Structure 1
């Protein structure tokens, strides 16, 4: 049995990894940014450690005694870029054997070119800042590995779904509100991977000696289109998937001013500063700042009666989703099969069933989900 440190343990992947590895008898040490964030762990009373992802000293203390560290952080480009070097150096100081880094298929774009493998050139010029940040993080880790003692294994999953996944909860919300949509009738490839299949791949990545320095795709066995992905959830909500509208791709406009503001706020410097601000101070600040009430109605003087008009929600095409749904290629996991012995342990249909079972337990969906 091993001791496994998990950075980003309160996220979707990290939380599920904690559950699975504990069930297998391993000792798990969640590494969280604050005591309040530890409340989001589904399993309580764990030996969690508080550490900033930017603070090498705090991370080294958190990693003491760990055999392996799983780095599973989602966030801004600054956090993605700024957290890898402190993590690696802290792991080396703590005597960790291997780091498992959760990257993403997005290093090859959201719609990877046909024929893409793990050896294909990474696509650096992309519209979404988090994508090149992942590329930077991968390269930084591998460069550190050249002179360091801690082994590095990288995973590049696609659409990771399952209970508690935003892909599941967001789709459920869209179906219940009537805002779900397809691009190209949903015939694009959804590079899905059920959460437990990804965790299984990570487990193999931890234990396979020859995985050091390698990157791997992992996915579901089935070839899944976006229509296939939506269908079981739509049917559970009593929605005919054939009636979900297929929308044209609009022309997306990018504000230079907004891009500059985003670049500053998401930079390593700003994100590192924000990480140093106490959580209770940030929470108090949120409580002080007045929130905009979107549902408020302006009062027009001298008008005795205002007719309330119910506006039906309409689907709005998201730029990221537009690119994802245009994918025409299922990423292969031959390399994971060959080196790790990877095989999906949960079928796509079973993953959808388990996800729908979870949705049925949520109050906002329990009355509209068909049993």
Structure 2
């Protein structure tokens, strides 16, 4: 749905703002075409922010950032809606989607019911990991840091795409270069890119009422329980204090 705000159900126009969103929309179109051509019953699920065990982007990566001591609560930017769905609730929706005949040919948002901001989620995860309280970061400060690191981020993407093997050879051979690369990687990893800040400030809430009505599905894991389970898994894998 791109950067749309307000209440968003499945009838809302889709306007992806990046390559990832466009690829998902294109995949939906391919699935529908194959369904028509081959007589397959296609059900499309649109999950929101999936967190919990094995969620590399929304659980592990945030744990890494929090443990670095270089993350914070982003005043302004972090007050957008996070649209969390715990992984077990998503699995339950998938299970029902492949078993309920009325689901065939339909599209469903899959999202939790709580309206949680990014700052609230990150703060809860930080507390669950037993870390010190997060500082509140001025929006001008984080925007400046993001802008200053943008050229380095782009150079790193191009370098790894075209000279990946050479970069790794230099990294392994020269200790001084290794230290510089580690420092640069840490700065990039712990500073949100401009598109992340935009994501953290979005106000759209994805409505999943259709999944409840047609599939008889309801999310059962609230933020408190989801973070508790996520942090237990993270600690089992060596995160936290």
> TM-score band, normalised by the shorter chain?
0.7 to 0.9
| Corresponding position of 1:297 | 176
Equivalent position to 2:130, from 208, 232, 237: 237
Give ranges in structure 2 of 5+ residues lacking alignment. Answer: 178-182
Give me the whole-angstrom Cα distance separating, in 1, the residues matched to 2:217 and 2:31. 23
Give me the whole-angstrom Cα distance separating, in 1, the residues matched to 2:97 and 2:81. 26
Give me the whole-angstrom Cα distance separating, in 2, the residues matched to 1:118 and 1:246. 36
Give me the whole-angstrom Cα distance separating, in 1, the residues matched to 2:64 and 2:174. 19
Give me the whole-angstrom Cα distance separating, in 2, the residues matched to 1:180 and 1:130. 25
CA shift for structure 1 position 293: 4.7
Change over 3 Å in CA distance of 1:150–1:225 after alignment to 2:
same
The structure 1 segments of at least 4 consecutive aligned residues displaced by more than 4 Å after TM superposition are 250-254
Q: Does 1:347 align with 2:222?
A: yes
Size of the aligned set, in residue pairs, is 218
| Corresponding position of 1:210 | 102
Alignment check: 8 A CA contact 2:49 2:85 kept? yes
Alignment check: 8 A CA contact 1:168 1:355 kept? yes
Give me the whole-angstrom Cα distance separating, in 2, the residues matched to 1:318 and 1:294. 30
Give me the whole-angstrom Cα distance separating, in 1, the residues matched to 2:203 and 2:233. 30
What secondary structure sits across from 2:67 in the alignment?
helix
Equivalent position to 1:332, from 207, 210, 214: 207
Alignment check: 8 A CA contact 1:247 1:317 kept? no
Alignment check: 8 A CA contact 2:7 2:205 kept? no
TM-score relative to the length of structure 2:
0.78
Equivalent position to 1:318, from 193, 196, 208: 193
Give me the whole-angstrom Cα distance separating, in 1, the residues matched to 2:81 and 2:126. 18
| Corresponding position of 2:71 | 180
Change over 3 Å in CA distance of 1:294–1:177 after alignment to 2:
farther
Q: Which has the higher helix share?
A: 2
| Corresponding position of 2:25 | 135
| Corresponding position of 2:55 | 165
Give me the whole-angstrom Cα distance separating, in 2, the residues matched to 1:176 and 1:218. 30
Q: Does 1:149 align with 2:24?
A: no
Alignment check: 8 A CA contact 1:175 1:237 kept? no
Give ranges in structure 1 of 5+ residues lacking alignment. Answer: 1-107, 266-284, 299-309
Q: Which has the larger radius of gyration?
A: 1
| Corresponding position of 1:30 | none
TM-score relative to the length of structure 1:
0.52
CA shift for structure 1 position 184: 1.1
Alignment check: 8 A CA contact 1:183 1:322 kept? no
Could you list the per-position Cα deviations for residues 239-265 of structure 1 after superposition, in whole angstroms to 9, with x for gaps in the alignment? 213x142434358679xx98xx79xx8
Could you list the per-position Cα deviations for residues 342-363 of structure 1 after superposition, in whole angstroms to 9, with x for gaps in the alignment? 1012222111000111111123
